[in-house]
Amino acid sequence: MSTAAPAHILLLPGDGIGPEVVAETTKIIDWFSKNRGKTFTTSSALVGGSAYDETGNPLPPETLEAAHKADAILLGAVGGTKWESLDYSVRPERGLLGLRKELQLFANLRPAICFPALAKASTLKPEVVAGLDIMIIRELTGDIYFGTPRGVETLPDGTRRGINTMVYTTPEVHRIARVAFDLAGKRNGRVCSVDKANVLESTEMWREEVQKIGDTEYPNIALSHMYVDNAAMQLVRNPRQFDVMVTGNIFGDILSDCAAMLTGSLGMLPSASLGAKDANGKIPALYEPVHGSAPDIAGKGVANPIATILSFAMMLRYSFGRGACADLLETAVTEVLESGIRTADIVEEGSRKVGTAEMGAAIIARLQALAAQDQSLKTGS
């Protein structure tokens, strides 16, 4: 029975394996809706190549309207070879970029979690990555990607000069810092801010402003600072030292991919992109797997749905404040992996290979068993 106000989730399955992995996640959403004291309603809309095929627009206005109204959005993936020759302005990826821009999603959250059962899949030693659980927060809308002046000019002597400008303003730094501190408060209470303050003035300012927000608004969160070169080294040397890492757009681009690969498989990695709180306290939020539409395996029923299912766990935790439900879902995934049930991308000797739907069903069966084991969980978080 539902004890909390219902929430609406907009599903954007997209292209390739997107609809397959979103379909399995929808069953998990329904399970939580029926069993955990909060009702989730869902509706679907078109995005990406499939939206282009139907409407000539990878982000139709009705999808955008539904995105603005939803409490949270779950996206599968966009893109594929079929649309590669289209003009850039109507390519499937424009649908996703358009959503990020329209909803002003400035904070990209990428957890790097290494399930002990998959520690062998990492290129690092299992004892370095087993049990890893870090969160990288990348600022998405500022920095050298957007700063001006930019471009390439030809000098009088015929040589060329390329220019990009690294720029941040204090409000941009403050808002991403607050996202990091808030998340650390829901995790292990530690933030490491990454910069290059020894060389770049804009990041020296970043460091000072993050410290200011930490001192004045989050005295209970332990804040440290690290230069980006050292952070890259520490991520592969001893990644478990980190809880939340926060950094600018370009450093985050590189560090989040590096951290993601610590965990071994693309089919396991969730993400979230968050915007600023509006007057009603709502934070626009888009949750999606890190992987793409995987055209090579689309339609075969073999894609790993776990990255999308874990994206829903992030939604439970960060959009709906249901940390206990997120823990329950992550435990179910962990136990299914430990039982040796694997999709093709993470299969290993001695494990049982299953398809997308079987993996979804195994996770639901585990949720059911966990809920039955602990009746007290039934009241929700």
Structure-block tokens of residue 367: 């949720």
Say which of 53, 82, 186, 253 is annotated catalytic. Answer: 253
Residue 173: how many other CB atoms lie within 10 Å: 25
Catalytic residue among 196, 287, 318, 345: 196
Catalytic residue among 30, 34, 229, 378: 229
**Cβ-contact 256, 136 below 8 angstroms:** yes
- Using Cβ positions, the residue closest to ligand NAD within the complex turns out to be 292
Burial of 107 (0-12, 13-18, 19+ CB in 10 A): buried
For position 301 contacting ligand NAD by CB under 6 A, the verdict is no
Known catalytic residue: 253? Answer: yes
Segment 239 to 278, residues that bind ligand NAD, using CB under 6 A: 266-267
Q: Which is nearer to ligand NAD, 78 or 250 (CB)?
A: 78
Question: Judged by CB under 6 A, does residue 51 bind ligand NAD?
Answer: no
Active site residue 157: no
CB of 260 to ligand NAD, least distance (A): 11
Place of tokens 């439970």: 316
229 is catalytic: yes
Per CB under 6 A, contacts with ligand NAD among 1-30 are: 17, 21
* The one among 93, 102, 208, 358 contacting ligand NAD by CB under 6 A: 93
Joined together, the tokens standing for residue 241 give: 């030292």
Nearer to ligand NAD, 213 or 341 (CB): 341
Residue (93 or 327) nearer to ligand NAD, CB? 93
Q: Does 133 bind ligand NAD (CB under 6 A)?
A: no
Angle at the Cα of 267 (from 296 to 371), degrees rounded to 5? 135
**One residue of 57, 202, 273, 304 binding ligand NAD per CB under 6 A:** 304
Among 183, 235, 297, 313, binds ligand NAD (CB under 6 A): 297
CB of 236 to ligand NAD, least distance (A): 22
Using the rule CB under 6 A, is 347 a contact of ligand NAD? Answer: no
Q: Which is nearer to ligand NAD, 184 or 313 (CB)?
A: 313
> Nearest approach, Cβ of 170 to ligand NAD (angstroms)?
31
Radius of gyration from C-alpha coordinates of the chain? 21
Nearest to 139, CA basis, from 114, 163, 170, 113? 170
The footprint of ligand NAD (CB under 6 A) covers 17, 21, 77-80, 93, 96, 266-267, 288, 291-297, 303-304, 307, 345
> Active-site positions?
145, 196, 229, 253, 257
